[in-house]
Amino acid sequence: MALAIDSGPTDVPLIHLTIGDLLNETAERFADREALVVPHQSIRQSWAEFNASVDAVAKGLMAAGIDTGDRVAMWSPNFAEWIYIQFATAKIGAIQVNVNPAYRTSELEYALNQSGARMLVTKTEFLTSAYRDMVETVAPKCPDLERVVYFDTDDWAALVAAGRSIDDADLAARMAGLDADDDINIQYTSGTTGFPKGATLSHKAILNNAQFVGMMCDFDETDRLAIPVPFYHCFGMVMGNLACAVYGSTMVIPSPAFEPGAVLEVVEAEKCTSLYGVPTMFIAQLGHPDLGSRDLSSLRTGIMAGSPCPIEVMGQVIDEMNMSEVTIAYGQTETSPVSTQTRTTDSVERRVTTVGRVLPHVETKIIDPDTGETVERGQEGEYCTRGFHVMNGYWNDPEKTALAIDDEGWMHSGDLATMDDEGYVNIVGRLGDMIIRGGENIYPREIEEFLYTHPNIADAQVIGVPDAKYGEAVMAWVQTNEGATLTEDEVREFCKDAIAHYKVPRYISFVSEFPMTVTGKVRKAEMREKSIADLGLANAITETA
């Protein structure tokens, strides 16, 4: 029996450029082709125009004193300014810090301080997010933060105007001093020890990941990609924006935040050939009343990722949305993000029952989590990967980096997987207790430590329970202090303005004790079983299996 280890092909060479150099090449090759379409901002730019906008912002950052290696945080839904900052920071060698637009005060404060961000670019407000109010609350507690730019005010024009003092030669000289292996992006991923970890990615890692993800979808300069997934995550900024930059394809942004009707409208109006999303996004589009009246005949491919795809959904996406070549991708933030992906030529069964095969220039193996030995194909073990795509490390956290990446360069995912005889990988579970809610990775410990800060809570344990719509929902078991009273609504209200909405517990159970092992460890599996029974969620397991 063969061992569960595989390597991707190497016939297509790696890109050894910085993101800025790559963008300059693309803008020269495809100067007049459309690069960016943002209907909600009435923006339509060619690659030459887009590159000029990026250069203007890059010079503005230089005029503001942003140096190579400085951190610039970006906190916003999907607006054009997000993309300009993404490429502008890359051109000047600043490290962009992605801040989840759903973050609230405690999370924002942590991300700014942990990264040491000198500048924050954000919006004054969006829907229920009062960004300016939150910044004003947090800024006094962030000593490294020198400047906040609200891009929906005169701040943005002032930033760009200041950049006119910077010569083209100054920008070119800055770019010439950069290296493809430099840190260029920090993305926060929830941590098992209570706080997010800043996965630090290089030009080379995310640029080549974008190249190969696009290759699996057969992208070229004629493709038009609808990107409804958020930019703050690799799905939007790497698999979306950067993949378009590699191939000269068009970035089409349907709306600031996901709206199924807006996606369908934009796909028809802009004749998009590709569409991204997590399964819940595709389910929402399939259930939208406009689906039948929209002409989606231009669609060909796309990517579904973030959580397992039900076979019925895949079938409907192919039949009703014309996405016959839709692919499935798997990875994690720490791997830039994709390490395995199905091909457009794979059967529907392969695209539903597996997460594909290893990408080019990437190695994958499945190991026994106890011994570290590679298991045989077909056997379960921990998924590990190695290659250009592995992060440079967790920002300012060598201890956690050493726990994630071993001495031989293998990134340990914490996911349980199998590999078949043809190299197709299937994710079957998790070593830890991470919750995946609609494509968002949630580590219970982070929520538990926040709940501990409530004056009436003595202890809290968080688990995931089945949910027919999102795959999993967050549930908290809460012990109150002696004599204290607390309601479910009070707990949710406490969470509301401090942690992201998707982390707020949907279910709350007040208990006097937790099931424990003889050695004093909480038995979360038992908690989950009891909660499923008490809440009557057994059917949800069947629906999401």
Task: Give the mean pLDDT of the chain.
Answer: 93
Contact of 210 with 15, CB cutoff 8 Å:
no
Residue 348 domain flag: no
Predicted local confidence at residue 193, as pLDDT = 44
Domain boundary, last residue among 119, 146, 179: 179
Short-list 240, 96, 94, 75, CA closest to 149: 75
Contact of 75 with 120, CB cutoff 8 Å:
yes
Residue 318 domain flag: no
Residue 475 domain flag: yes
Domain boundary, last residue among 179, 211, 245: 179
Q: Compute the average pLDDT of residues 398-421.
A: 95
pLDDT(542) > 60: no
pTM of the model: 0.85
Predicted local confidence at residue 449, as pLDDT = 78
pLDDT(521) > 90: no
Predicted local confidence at residue 148, as pLDDT = 98
Domain boundary, last residue among 122, 144, 179: 179
- Measured at the CA of 137, the angle between CA 135 and CA 139, to 5 degrees, comes to 60
Contact of 278 with 439, CB cutoff 8 Å:
yes
Instruction: Indicate the burial class of 495 (C-beta count within 10 angstroms; 0-12, 13-18, 19 or more).
Output: buried
15-29, 47-61, 254-268, 441-455 — which is least confidently predicted? Answer: 441-455
Residue 106 domain flag: yes
Residue 277 domain flag: no
Tokens representing residue 159 in the block: 């930033």
Residue 497 domain flag: yes
Predicted local confidence at residue 545, as pLDDT = 40
52-61, 338-347, 476-485, 534-543 — which is least confidently predicted? Answer: 534-543
pLDDT(282) > 50: yes
pLDDT(348) > 80: yes
Is 345 strand, coil or helix?
Answer: coil
Predicted local confidence at residue 517, as pLDDT = 56
Specify the CATH number for the domain of residue 28: 3.40.50.980
Residue 338 domain flag: no
Q: Compute the average pLDDT of residues 481-501.
A: 93
Predicted local confidence at residue 520, as pLDDT = 54
Please state, for a pLDDT cut of 90, what percent of the chain lies above it: 80
Contact of 296 with 211, CB cutoff 8 Å:
no
Domain interval for residue 70: 17-36+46-179
Specify the CATH number for the domain of residue 501: 3.30.300.30
Structurally, how many domains does the chain consist of? 2
| H or E element, residue 24 | helix 19-29
pLDDT(64) > 80: yes
Residue 265 domain flag: no
